Amino acid sequence: MEFKDYYQALGVAKSASADEIKKAYRKLARKYHPDVSKEADAQERMRDVNEAYAVLSDAEKRAAYDTLGQRHAAGSEFRPPPGWSDGYAFSTDDTSGEDFSEFFANLFGRGAHASRTGRGHRAEMPPMRGEDQHAAITIDLADSYRGGERAITLRAPRLDDAGRVVADERTLRLQIPKGVREGQQIRLAGQGPPGFNGGPAGDLYLEIRFSPDTRYRVEGRDVTQSVPVAPWEAMLGARIEVATPAGTLEVGIPAGSNNGTRLRLKGKGLPGEPAGDLYLDLELVLPPPSDKARELFETMSREIAFDPRRSMRA
């Protein structure tokens, strides 16, 4: 693994005071806060910043890290030497729940404690439940309509035989619940990171996100989409086929419909009890210009007495 420069991550000098470190951390935390940041890599940067602060804000961890830092440059290949933290009394339990790097986990995470005290002492640690893990999965709206399976890849820390923390990648096949909505959480009991010393694994929570699709708008279980129609279909009425997330449906356009007319297809929104509705907003589209089209519109212009701006006149 690579040696991480926590001072660089926070943008402070190695001589920075505790107050300067706190100020730098808060400034970056605001910049990369996942709820407000527009930076593409905000989540990753926030993790780095949190990790750096977890070490540099703790006097014992910082001192231990500084000792290592004297012999390693950022990005250089690194393995913690045996007994590297002897004499430092930092806790490994106050960093729970953070999705930190392999570098951090090996030095300061829970598993590092087992590593530091030697394998023979691991049995003395009480069984500890694995931390619950959070992740997000992005699905298409159609996946929610149909349900179905989705493979997801997760990274989870694990202690290897030498007591070191290694990051395991694993793939889960997940059943997407039919009718699941954006923002809902799926809980997979016991599928989080493993426990320590025989403790049970944590749970895995997956937040559902819908992949962006400008064709649809989803509110609760109701779905709205626009449907282009020809002027004569709107005027005369028609039965048309519409591709919707619920499949291809035959829809009756009432005669005399207008641009923006909304049709409601009851129960064709997201599945559920009750199912949502599917709304179709009609969008009148003119045919491409042609001699024939021009001729017919000229006829309409002559034959139909219609002033669409009458209501605007004083």
Contact positions toward other proteins, by CB under 8 A? 25-26, 29, 33, 35-36, 96-97, 129, 131-132, 134, 149, 170-175, 177, 180, 183-189, 191, 202-203, 205-207, 214, 216-217, 219, 224-226, 260, 281, 283
Of 66 and 277, the one with the shorter C-beta distance to other proteins is 277
Of 1 and 176, the one with the shorter C-beta distance to other proteins is 176
CB 223 within 8 A of CB 141: yes
Of 29 and 230, the one with the shorter C-beta distance to other proteins is 29
Of 137 and 235, the one with the shorter C-beta distance to other proteins is 137
Q: How far is the CB of 128 from other proteins (least distance, A)?
A: 12
Q: How far is the CB of 294 from other proteins (least distance, A)?
A: 26
How is residue 107 written in tokens? 């030095």
Q: How far is the CB of 116 from other proteins (least distance, A)?
A: 23
For 149, the 3-state DSSP assignment is strand
Identify the DSSP state of 306: -
Cα separation, 193 vs 190, in Å, equals 8
Of 223 and 246, the one with the shorter C-beta distance to other proteins is 223
Q: How far is the CB of 187 from other proteins (least distance, A)?
A: 5
Q: What Cα–Cα distance (Å) separates residue 50 from each residue in 30, 280, 298, 310?
A: 12, 46, 68, 63
How is residue 300 written in tokens? 């309409």
Q: How far is the CB of 78 from other proteins (least distance, A)?
A: 28
Q: Residue type for 286, please?
A: L
Q: How far is the CB of 174 from other proteins (least distance, A)?
A: 5
Of 29 and 240, the one with the shorter C-beta distance to other proteins is 29
Of 1 and 270, the one with the shorter C-beta distance to other proteins is 270
CB 78 within 8 A of CB 3: yes
Report the alpha-carbon angle 82-87-91, nearest 5. 90
How is residue 151 written in tokens? 């493979």
Q: How far is the CB of 14 from other proteins (least distance, A)?
A: 23
Residues 6+ apart with CB under 8 A from 171: 151, 152, 153, 154
Of 138 and 224, the one with the shorter C-beta distance to other proteins is 224
CB 162 within 8 A of CB 115: yes
Residues 6+ apart with CB under 8 A from 181: 144, 208, 218, 220, 221, 270
How is residue 201 written in tokens? 């694994």
Q: How far is the CB of 112 from other proteins (least distance, A)?
A: 18
> Could you give the count of Cα atoms lying within 13 Å of 256 in the half-sphere of its Cβ?
0
